[in-house]
Amino acid sequence: MRTLTAAILIVCMVFCMSGSIYAVEEEDRLQGGQQEKVKEEMETEAETEETERTEEEEKKTEQEITGEAAEGTEEEIGGKIEGKTEEERETVEEEATAGETEEEQVLGKDMDTSIQISAPSALLMEVSTGTVLFEQDADTKRPPASVTKIMTMLLIFDAIDSGKISLEDKVPVSEFAASMGGSQVFLEVGETQTVETMIKCISIASANDACVAMAEYISGSEEIFVQEMNKKAKSLGMENTNFVNCNGLDAQGHVTTARDIAIMSRELITKYPQIHEYAMTWMENITHETKKGSSEFGLTNTNKLVRQYEYATGLKTGSTGEAKFCVSATGKKDDVELIAVVMAAETSKERFSDAIKMMNYGFGKCQVYTDEQPAKTKSVSVKNGIEEQVEVERGEIYTYLDVKGSDIKAIKRKEKIKKKIVAPIKKGDVVGTMIYTLDGTEIGRSDIVAKSSVKKAGFFDYLKKAMTELLIGGKK
């Protein structure tokens, strides 16, 4: 009888408390998201300079390699030596680079602290933080030539990652794709190559025909694929870019900037680091299977840094009559990874020299601290929730870029949890902070977040809890 009376009294008390239960103050939620960037109007160039290269193109054959040929004819040495042995190809390359000095052939041995860049546009970026270490006229719109293909390859890997296509898929070659001029691997109408082979043709030999074949395979037409390229560029914050084609051949309005090239390069190498394996391949053969029969074709990398710079990891060269000589060069030394972009250099050697100067400068200046350790705090208390505790974890990995020569081993970390954590809580909500200091000065923060969601407790949740406690107390 006493137990029944006590239960009735508790129920009455709970109903009286219900008004105040629902009046519990919730903690202000963090405002998420940023306003969408203002849509930019892409400028188009009113006039395009016509470069007379017809006679030069007629003189060049598949076997001729200059190492500095513009992409409007055949870019550098990639994809132009059919039926030659690897030894013969190396001989051709040696002849093409015969004018280099001893200093140029042992690039990267000495750190050059000076940074005088001959090209009109250039930019150096540290990859893990996206910090710009050096820039020179980095926002002027210029034609990028085959550096365009970084975006093409990004969309190809996106399609693979989403499951839309696979590396083993057979890609047919259309008449339009086969008609592409400039640097190419001479794909024939009706021929098929795997997606992986097409990636090799694009990343190693800068093949325009392979680009168009992949664009058509993924999107149905190059036009639709280019729309996706521009959509992707906008999503990455490439504010001064407009693509007109997928391979970088000169076209009115086909422009970007050194900064935007660095942005898309960073996205490609961080999201799909396997690109380095393709971009660092110096020579490889592919096999053409056509109505004429089977024949091997030699791919040779257009990026000389692959062999000449010890810290090189990629990425893409480009040159046309309008663009002159461009490169987005990537390199890594110890824990420091850099992107050096050069646009409109007067010669092939100048673009590589400028890229090396910037990377040597960056490697000499930078050191990176990275904290991937989990939070020491494992769970936190939650008020007014169905559960009283929620497990927590660190958010993004914290990275700090030092350019002052500090002792980064002296960096300290302290965890700070919010005093009041009130339900409802969603997975990923910030519940605390990791604070990083160096020599007593705060250098950065990293979030501690909820590992799961916790719903706000309702009236019946409290009633159930009260009854459970009563029963447990009665048993005691």
| Active-site residue set | 146, 149, 206
Closest by alpha carbon to 190, among 177, 208, 207? 177
The whole-angstrom separation of Cα 199 and Cα 211 is 9
Give the number of other Cβ atoms within 10 Å of residue 445's Cβ: 12
- Residue keyed to tokens 């005093």: 419
Give burial (CB, 10 Å; 0-12/13-18/19+) of 209.
Answer: buried
